[in-house]
């Protein structure tokens, strides 16, 4: 249950997609004066060392953030959404070397105003302690709350929020197959409790029926609820397992991921339209690299 550690995956291509979308959403939601509550159901440790043992072991940031940030003299300028993502990550680092990666909690806190609130859930005991310690360094006072609880359950405490404006981010590890059903249950109950909230779901696109069913079911939920939705996916490589001549099996790692949003900002699709093909061009690893961007409602 507690085997997954995001430190191995910090800054990978899935983080690039998730956090580019998250920043674009928050930039829009913080334009209104009214207070915003953000709930992160699976917050992780909050900050990660890209030069630490975990990240170096996987090397996944090399195919995500670091590849995107690498100089590309002949490439067109980055889309504003991607530039905003890179600028924010760089703000956590000194100089040109990217050694620190901010997870969703620190990205969100960086963009919130003083009267906004951030609720962070993390059940993994080691990551929960790390998160609490990292957040303490912010001196954010009552703005940020860290809860060592199951975010699939605890989110109900905060929706609907007093100011009736909220973003809920749900991005579990999906190591346990039941997580897919829990995400759908959360979104379904969330839409009943607080139908005007923005719900953002990250998921891995892998060879598992549940992974392909989840966005379809979320789309059905949004449509039946009469709500707008947006679905973006990024594929960087083929996802097939290969067997070498010597009998060794090579697993591809995560080939793709998606973000599904209910009640997304009306500006989000336009912000992502120029960014998605650039992500394919910069992060794609083979001829299977591709993206999708669709919306409705």
Q: What are phi and psi of 198, to 5 degrees?
A: -100, 125
Cα 151 → chain centroid: 15
| Active-site entry in 15, 40, 171, 179 | 171
Spell out the residues 6+ positions from residue 231 whose beta carbon is closer than 8 angstroms to its own.
215, 218, 219, 258, 259, 260, 261, 292, 293, 294, 295
Q: What share of the chain is helix, strand, coil (3-state, %, to 5)?
A: 40, 20, 40
The reply, when asked if residue 19 is annotated as ligand binding, is yes
The reply, when asked if residue 3 is annotated as ligand binding, is no
The reply, when asked if residue 171 is annotated as ligand binding, is yes
Question: Active-site residue 171, yes or no?
Answer: yes
The reply, when asked if residue 150 is annotated as ligand binding, is yes
- Tracing tokens 């009998």 back to the chain, one arrives at 247
Q: What are phi and psi of 161, to 5 degrees?
A: -85, 165
- Sign of the dihedral defined by the CA atoms of residues 26, 143, 200, 34, in that order: negative
The reply, when asked if residue 104 is annotated as ligand binding, is yes
Q: Token pair of 72, please?
A: 């590309």
Q: Which residues are annotated as a binding site for S-adenosyl-L-methionine?
A: 19, 42, 104, 122, 150-151, 171
Summarize the annotated binding site as residue ranges.
19, 42, 104, 122, 150-151, 171
Please list the active-site residues: 171
């Amino acid at each position: 249950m507690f085997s997954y550690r995001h430190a191995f995956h910090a800054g990978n291509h899935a983080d690039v997609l998730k956090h580019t979308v998250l920043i674009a959403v928050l930039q829009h939601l913080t334009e209104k004066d009214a207070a915003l509550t953000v709930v992160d159901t699976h917050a992780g440790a909050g900050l990660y060392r890209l030069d630490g043992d975990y990240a170096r072991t996987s090397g996944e940031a090399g195919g995500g953030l670091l590849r995107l940030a690498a100089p590309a003299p002949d490439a067109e300028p980055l889309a504003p959404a991607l530039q905003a993502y890179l600028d924010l990550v760089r703000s956590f680092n000194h100089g040109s070397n990217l050694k620190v990666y901010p997870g969703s909690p620190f990205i969100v806190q960086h963009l919130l105003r003083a009267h906004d609130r951030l609720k962070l859930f993390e059940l993994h005991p080691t990551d929960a302690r790390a998160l609490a310690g990292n957040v303490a360094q912010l001196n954010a006072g009552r703005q940020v709350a860290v809860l060592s609880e199951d975010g699939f359950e605890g989110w109900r405490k905060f929706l609907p929020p007093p100011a009736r404006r909220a973003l809920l981010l749900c991005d579990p590890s999906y190591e346990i197959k039941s997580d897919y059903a829990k995400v759908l249950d959360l979104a379904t109950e969330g839409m009943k409790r607080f139908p005007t909230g923005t719900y953002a779901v990250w998921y891995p696109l892998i060879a598992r029926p549940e992974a392909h069913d989840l966005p379809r079911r979320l789309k059905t939920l949004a449509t039946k609820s009469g709500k707008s939705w947006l679905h973006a996916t990024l594929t960087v490589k083929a996802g097939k397992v290969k067997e070498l001549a010597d009998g060794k099996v090579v697993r591809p790692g995560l080939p793709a991921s998606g973000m599904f949003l209910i009640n997304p900002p009306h500006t989000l699709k336009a912000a992502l339209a120029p960014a998605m093909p650039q992500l394919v061009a910069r992060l794609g690893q083979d001829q299977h690299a591709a993206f999708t961007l669709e919306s409705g409602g």
